[in-house]
Amino acid sequence: MSALLRAEQLTKAFGSTQAVAGISFDIAPGRCTALLGPNGAGKTTTIRMLAGLLQPTGGKLSYAGVKPGQSPNSLLGYLPQAPSFYGWMTGREYAVYAARLCGLSAAEARSQADALLERVGLSAAANRAISGYSGGMKQRLGLAQALVHRPKLLILDEPVSALDPLGRHEVLMLLRELKQETTVLFSTHVLHDAEQLCDDVLIIRNGEMALQGSIEEIKNNHRMSVITLHIEGDDHSKQWCVSYQGGAYVKELRRIEKGIELVVTDMELARRELLGQLAEDGIRVAKLEFGHSTLEDLFMKVVSG
């Protein structure tokens, strides 16, 4: 099996509620994959099934090198969205404890714990009680415990959603380093993080797979030319925006705050005609941008149906 992890028609129901409805995907070794979807889409349920914390209602999960009936736990490192710790423990005690639970000898556990606490920037706080750690420090400690047994697949559920900007930056920098060393799968609803960090994306909606593939492939296949126009606040310019209908090159027109956004079929033609029309009509332009749709644009289109 070339995939490190393969899910086939994975399903999870809670009573009459179908949380995950037959999704299939591969996680390739050496790749960083983002599991995307709005709140309630089934991301956490999927993550928990992959991590072995929930038994699927149906479908099949396969892990490279793991025979049917064997546990894949030795291959996996897992960090939940809101990790819990023994607050009375120090960071070092907890990291050693996690390593021993994973089967490392006492000497190996101490060595690996110290190396990882250094790696995640917690050496200076290693002997402090976890109850005094900030949110970012706890997430970094959670990463250390998830990595302590050198997993082949690191699974993270919304790793930065509860962090302040500084903590978020620290954890994202760590993930950027870690993806060079191991396979990473993380769920998020922050599209910017996925676009900056990941090679592949899985987008789910209402428990079903809506779109999947490499970020570059998806962008190339679905990218659209976009013009964004913000006007100054005079009445003439405002009225122009309200009444503007576009030309034959306009595929989609959206009214936005202080202007319009155009999806166009021919960027060069649109650029020439729009600039000419703005000058001819004396429209006061605050900002005019020519670019392409982002992953967030595509995400919004996919999840809104």
Decide: residue 216, CB within 10 A, 0-12 exposed, 13-18 middle, 19+ buried. exposed
Within a 10 A sphere around the Cβ of 231, how many other Cβ atoms? Answer: 20
What pLDDT digit, counting tens, does each position of 19-66 carry? 999 999 999 999 999 999 888 889 999 999 999 999 999 999 999 888
Residue pLDDT, tens place only, 139-170: 889 999 999 999 999 999 988 876 778 778 88
pLDDT of residue 246: 81
Report CA-CA distances (Å) from 281 to 229, 263, 269, 286: 15, 21, 18, 15
Q: Specify the higher pLDDT residue, 5 or 295.
A: 5
Average pLDDT, integer, range 205-211:
90
- Residue 215: pLDDT over 90: no
CB 193 within 8 A of CB 173: no
Q: Which residue has the higher pLDDT, 294 or 62?
A: 62
pLDDT at residue 71 is higher than 70: yes
Instruction: Look at residue 106 and tell me whether its pLDDT is greater than 90.
Output: yes
Q: Please state the domain extents for the chain.
A: 5-217, 223-303
Across 7-11, 226-230, 296-300, which has the greatest mean pLDDT?
A: 7-11
Residue 225 binned pLDDT confidence (cut-offs 50, 70, 90): confident
Where do the H-state alpha helices sit in 212-266? 215-222, 235-243
CB 172 within 8 A of CB 140: no
DSSP assignment of 157-171 equals: ESTTTT--HHHHHHH
Residue 301 pLDDT > 80, yes or no?
no
Element (H, E) at 5: strand 5-14
Q: What are phi and psi for residue 71, nearest 5 degrees? A: -85, 135
Domain made up of 223-303: CATH architecture: 2-Layer Sandwich (3.30)
C-alpha separations of 267 from 18, 50, 249, 256, 262 in Å: 43, 43, 8, 20, 10
Partners of 61 in beta bridges: 7
5-217: CATH, from 3.40.50.620, 3.90.1150.10, 3.60.15.10, 3.40.50.300: 3.40.50.300
The residue-averaged pLDDT of 178-200 equals 86
135 is written with which tokens?
């949110």
- How far is CA 88 from each of CA 14, 77, 83, 131, rounded to the nearest angstrom? 36, 24, 15, 7
